[in-house]
Structure 1
Amino acid sequence: MSAIAKGLKRRGRLMAQAVSPPRKTLDAIPTQRPPERPQQASADYTAPLAPRLVQSPAFVLSSVRSGSTLLRVLLNSHSRIRAPHEMHLRTVHVRMSREFTADAMKELALDREELEHVLWDRVLHLELSRSGKDVIVDKTPPNTLIWPRLHRCWPDARFVVLLRHPGAVIQSLTSRRAEPDHEAIRAEVLGYAEKLEEARQSLAGAHVITYEDLTADPERVTRGLCEYLGVPWESGMLDYGKQDHGTFRPKLGDWSKEIKSGRIQAARQADPTAELPPRLAEIAKAWGYPV
């Protein structure tokens, strides 16, 4: 090959390299995260209320060990009311995993809280649709601790406030725990009682009942509940054992032999000799219980 030909060939190779540089593998390319941007605008943003699929769900507000599972199965025995196991919506969260996600959601008129509200609403709607009924009631006791947020999520929500003598709640919790921490139990019951009293005072349209009345006169109490929920009363509600309410197991509601019996049983009364902490005694008195 002549010197001129060799020179032209070499020149061609150099031009090709300039136009098409050698490729790098993905492993060879350094990954660089974009610089973090201040999130003041997104953090301060409050999204407007999105449309709800379930406009007026009902929530039972109660302490633990207050008969909410009995109330659930009585309501779930109605042909138009779906009262599922404890749904624990407050523990269903949305996580924005990148620094720009909040800005993206803001463009859709959403923030993290409203995203969670949309998800909660979808869960209720899905359960209601599956049941073929038209009224849904969630009776998860810890909902009591977040009732203002539930009210924010569903401005037209209905609330059933289920009360029980705080002394009886303390006794029930103590008897169910192998090594009861008495101070912790009293603090737990007081925490629920404070939020229940707050809801009772703040929710003007709430329907207030007691566990003692529910077990002593279930027809009268369930008739009042049906009127509040806008459905006709059905006598079959009182014979809840003939209906399928799913499995009774821990973390989803009461699973005791009493609730599994399918029969309404009398409420255990509080020990009249047991002394309540001052604030619990004050709340119990406000609820009409002897202290």
Structure 2
Amino acid sequence: MSAIARGLKRRGRLMAQAVSPPRRTLDAIPAQRPAPPEPADAYVAPRAPRLVESPVFVLSSVRSGSTLLRVLLNSHSRIRAPHEMHLRTVHVRMSREFTADAMRELALDREELEHVLWDRVLHLELSRTGKDLIVDKTPPNTLIWPRLHRCWPEARFVLLLRHPGAVIQSLTSRRADPDHEAIRAEVLAYAEKLEEARLELPGAHVITYEDLTAEPERITRELCAYLGVPWEKGMLDYGEQDHGTFRPKLGDWSEEIRSGRIQAARQADPAAALPPRLAGMAKAWGYPV
């Protein structure tokens, strides 16, 4: 190799070293790792103002007479008790990665956005009817009562109880191919949340379906006193007023409720045994077991 070639080769090595530092130099530089993202649920928004400060929620199991109570209340000149509204199934979706940040700048998170939407639905229904007190009787509300209480700290709650054995019988008779174990589990889930509400909501008004059908005037008078409205005799003649469509998923749609008359509650079979946990709650509610 000529001296000129050797010189060019040596010059190329020096230029390469100048452009690319030795590997040990790169390895010595600590990696710049991005900071871990803040959890999406780390921010809890403050409570936004409500348009409806003190709504009323009827907490009950399914098949416990909540539709009857609804139409009695809806017959009052100041009370709006619409069909089951299923607020817990009304959700807000943040569809972009920056949406949560945008809402946080407005002091909102996903849960509070849902609360604002729920509140607006109640207010809109009141505005349409011209009444001043709204009652939602959707039975699955029972399963989320702590969230309803968090959403509306001034909300009032009516606990509508029925003998768990009678609820099981009613569900069983209405299903073409009843799964008895699943029915007992469903009734237990409602009963446990009702008992939780009974113990943790000391201001709640408790009534039973059996008493409501046996003494409707007394029970509705006491309920009106709790709600702060005068009792109206027309409440007992609910068939004289329009209460909307009676159909599945929005409440009871049976011939009994369509009749417009208050009918006696079907009693639990005294010979039917209850699972121990349900029996304990039935006893705590004053039912014979």
**TM value normalised by structure 1:** 0.87
Distance 2:162 2:103 in 1: 43
Structure 2: segments with no counterpart, 5+ residues: 1-33
Q: 2:72 aligns with which of 74, 88, 110?
A: 74
Residue in 1 that maps onto 2:276: 278
Distance 2:82 2:36 in 1: 43
Residue in 2 that maps onto 1:62: 60
Displacement after TM superposition at 1:200 (Å): 0.3
SS of equivalent to 1:174:
helix
Residue in 2 that maps onto 1:18: none
SS of equivalent to 1:43:
coil
SS of equivalent to 1:159:
strand
CA displacement 1:232-262 (0-9 Å, x = unmatched): 0000000000000001000000000000000
From the superposition, tell whether residues 37 and 56 of structure 1 become closer, same or farther in structure 2 (CA, over 3 Å): farther
Distance 1:268 1:175 in 2: 12
**After superposition, where does 1:131-210 map in structure 2 within 5 Å?**
131-210=129-208
Larger Rg: 2
**TM value normalised by structure 2:** 0.87
Residue in 2 that maps onto 1:91: 89
Distance 2:219 2:72 in 1: 11
Percent identical residues? 87
- Cα root mean square deviation, aligned: 1.1
Distance 1:171 1:279 in 2: 17
- AA matched with 1:101: T
Structure 1: segments with no counterpart, 5+ residues: 1-35
Q: 1:260 aligns with which of 258, 261, 265?
A: 258
CA displacement 1:53-100 (0-9 Å, x = unmatched): 000000000000000000000000000000000000000000001111
Structure 1 stretches of 4+ moved >6 Å: none
Displacement after TM superposition at 1:43 (Å): 2.5
Residue in 2 that maps onto 1:20: none
| Count, aligned residues | 256
Displacement after TM superposition at 1:37 (Å): 9.3
